[in-house]
Amino acid sequence: MQLVAQILRSLFDLAMSLMGFLGMRGSRWEWKKSQWKMSLESRLASWEMTERGVRAKVRMCRHCRELVDRSLATCPACGASMRDVPRGGAGRLFAAVLPQFSSLTAILITANVFILAIQLIIWGADPQPHGLFGILSPPWQAQFLFGAKWPGTILELHQYWRVVTAGFLHGGILHLAFNGYALSILGPLIEESFGWRKFLFIYLASDIGSFAVSTLFSPRSSSVGASGAIFGLLGFGVIFARFRAGPRGRAVSDQLMRWILPGVLMLFLPGIDNAAHAGGFACGALLALVVAPGEPRNTRERRIWAVLTALSLVILIGAFVAMLVEYPANVDLLRR
């Protein structure tokens, strides 16, 4: 890396000398040259830090700050998991070179955007949108086929996968924008404090709980949206901060309580699935009483969360696979 940096600096100096020979002088050009040099040095410093990370034989535990051999999965000093601490070697190099999502929250938002885009590409927008929230809204046929919570389909046709897929559908671009904004704020708050595995479990459980409650208490209404899962994150944050995070946590809980006011106002708006919101909030609140913060610290906890993470992924992926498998049969139902 030092040889590459030296060659690049020499080439830069040669280019600057050539520019000066061609008459590119003066305060304006000298300011530009200094900016280019600063940019080059910043990029070289970043590459050198990446090289050091690749060659490093140890990594630092986030809990006790102990330097741990990069091959170990747990910290020998405190027993904390080292899974989310970047390793050295080829893994560190690939992480630096390959593009990747910054968080599970970003992946969830991207998935919601992608599914709405696919619906609009295949079915187009609803030719008769209902009000402002109907802008770029998929027609009801698309919502039905892609897994909306629909009257009779869950309890009578036993399409239970809809309690998962409904949480990834939206009734239009504004519906998606509001939920995406809320998820972008609440998601990182939970994910950074509890880790992506626990965040995935909380989000998916709240999604399922919200539409399960909606199915039981509003079986004759259709609904879609991530708001049930988002209310689950809100309920989780409020209860955990209030009862399990000490005095500072109560201050956070008071801040989160402000998010409940829009939920109360939604009770009086037509077309809002209040049962799903209540079910998601209750599910998140219950999980807040049992889920501990941070990554698993011992072998037993790691095994439990490995199983729960695998189960969450199987349920999530399986629900969309079931949607695709039953897509032709649901098309036939529409034709009847």
As annotated, the active-site residues are 227, 277
- DSSP 8-class letter at 60: E
Residues 6+ away with beta carbon under 8 Å from 62: 80, 84, 85
CA proximity to 263, closest of 248, 249, 279: 279
CA proximity to 149, closest of 203, 216, 200: 216
Residues 6+ away with beta carbon under 8 Å from 40: 8, 9, 12
Residue appearing with tokens 């490995």: 306
CA 21, chain centre distance (Å): 53
> In Å, what is the CA distance from 205 to each residue of 71, 103, 138, 164, 212?
33, 19, 26, 9, 10
